[in-house]
Structure 1
Amino acid sequence: RGTELFYAVEEPGSVLARLFLKAHRPFAIDVVNRGGERLLRIERPFRFYSHTAQIFDRYGTLVGTLDRHFSIPRRLYSVLSANGSKLFDLFGPLLHPWTFEIHENGTQRGMIQKKWSGLAKEAFTDADNFGVTFPPDWPVEKKTLALGAVFLIDFVHFEDGWVRWYD
């Protein structure tokens, strides 16, 4: 079992949005350390079809954007810098629904994986555990975006307690 380093705090939103929009609802999530200090913020506007999120640092400066591409049968995201240049892709293989590979210039550089939390937690709560691996020499910008990607992936693919391929 890994060490819990961060906690996610979602700003309260509309109950109706949560009920009817589900994975499409807008959200704002602060990622805080164990001392309660904000490290990054993920904001997702309402989009009827496409999925995107912006990642901000602790000072409110845009770090980058995550954009999901419509693709059958795979799950594909582009991760862009604040100026819009592509930094890396996230690719969800068909036969590994809880895994997203981090690809940079065509080479796998890391992974985001949803971890099994136990039957009770998986069945009766919205809480999920994820593991993120990336090169230790990556710049803070890329590490921040990889961590922020976890939350968009969770909303889009795992929000309802089962794996969602197309949305």
Structure 2
Amino acid sequence: MPHLLDYRRLFVRERVAVIKLTDTYDLLDPDTQAVVGVARENVSGLVKFFRLLIDKSLMPTTVEIAPGENQPPVLIIKRNVGFLRKKVTVFDAQGGQLGYFKSKILSLGGGFLVYSPDGQQFADVKGDWKGWNFKFLDATGQEMGLVTKKWAGLGKELFTSADNYIVEIKEGTANNALLIAAAIAIDTVLKEKQ
């Protein structure tokens, strides 16, 4: 079985719950439906308490992506407190910064600017006008990958806020970790209130 970060396609499925203060996502191989990883929000008890009073999209959060339950993370995503322009930083398992996203202020479909650890913009995550499909583009505008919402059925969409996404990474793309992180960042930053 490939390492979690070596997959070219992943199905990101948010776990369904009627009331929840933290999010958990299963990462599946879309061909076999086998769970190949988990992304779990890890916030303090104080932040959980404040989420009862304040919109959780305004609160800081940390999401750890691991190859399985109770395994050490291979990626860590941290979102700061923000109102207009949020920043999401991506770290590897050793705590080294891989890059960061900054949300766009004025964008029809939403999206992020993608930066290297030294602050150089090198890619763009652009949403379509519906805001459910995103392209990961390099500095020349070449597509590196896609994050698309997968419809899960009318009942689930009407009665829960759970989202499902397919992450597709083009061959030759070296930024698998950032594209996988982008799918989670889209849900926690852009779509959390929808």
TM-score by length of 2: 0.72
- Select the residue among 34, 45, 49 that pairs with 2:84: 49
What does residue 180 of structure 2 align with? Answer: 147
What does residue 73 of structure 1 align with? Answer: 108
Q: Do the aligned residues in 1 keep the contact of 2:101 with 2:113 (CA within 8 Å)? A: yes
Structure 1: unaligned runs, 5 residues or longer: 163-167
Q: Do the aligned residues in 1 keep the contact of 2:110 with 2:131 (CA within 8 Å)? A: no
Amino acid at match of 1:156: V
- Select the residue among 39, 64, 85 that pairs with 1:30: 64
What does residue 6 of structure 2 align with? Answer: none
User: CA distance change for structure 1 residues 18 and 93 in 2, over 3 Å: closer, same or farther?
Assistant: farther
Q: Do the aligned residues in 1 keep the contact of 2:97 with 2:117 (CA within 8 Å)? A: yes
Structure with more relative contact order (C-alpha pairs < 8 Å, separation 6 or more) = 2
**How much is the aligned-residue C-alpha RMSD, in angstroms?**
2.0
Amino acid at match of 1:158: K
What does residue 137 of structure 2 align with? Answer: 103
TM-score by length of 1: 0.83
User: CA distance change for structure 1 residues 84 and 127 in 2, over 3 Å: closer, same or farther?
Assistant: same
What does residue 36 of structure 2 align with? Answer: 5
Structure 2: unaligned runs, 5 residues or longer: 1-10, 12-29
Alpha-carbon distance in 2 for matches of 1:19, 1:8: 25
Alpha-carbon distance in 1 for matches of 2:95, 2:157: 33
What does residue 115 of structure 1 align with? Answer: 150
Alpha-carbon distance in 1 for matches of 2:191, 2:104: 17
CA deviation profile, 1:23-59 (whole Å, cap 9, x unmatched): 2211001011126231100001111321110000011
Alpha-carbon distance in 1 for matches of 2:161, 2:184: 12
Alpha-carbon distance in 1 for matches of 2:131, 2:109: 10
1:22, distance to aligned residue in structure 2 (A) = 2.6
Amino acid at match of 1:78: L
Identical amino acids, percent of aligned pairs = 26
What is the aligned residue count?
158
